[in-house]
Amino acid sequence: MKNSEQEAGCSLREIEAEVLVEGQEWMRQRLQQKLQQQADQHGRIFPPQRPAALAQQSPTDAPAHQRRRGGTQRLARD
């Protein structure tokens, strides 16, 4: 009798796993549809593309990052 209960339990686990996978796929497709609708409405690309002129410029906070990393010579304190 226990053998038949174990078989039923395995079957239920398999059904549960199958349904969970189907649900995840449905949610993924639904999310994809909603995101595509939003992208179509706004007509934007994410992440936004930087204009070529700005992309070539160095960031204004680069000196601060260099100081933190020790990229520039440190001033001696008296």
Read off the pTM.
Answer: 0.43
Residue-wise pLDDT tens digits, 50-68: 777 766 666 566 666 666 6
Asked if pLDDT for residue 31 goes beyond 70, the answer is: yes
34, 43 Cβ separation under 8 angstroms: no
Q: Domain spans of the chain?
A: 1-43
| pLDDT in the model for residue 29 | 96
Going by the DSSP 8-state scheme, the letter that residue 72 receives in this structure is S
Asked if pLDDT for residue 49 goes beyond 70, the answer is: yes
Within 1-78, residue ranges assigned H as helices are 2-42, 52-56, 62-69
Using a pLDDT cut of 70, give the percent of the chain over it.
50
- Please report which confidence band the pLDDT of residue 18 belongs to, taking 50, 70 and 90 as the band edges: very high
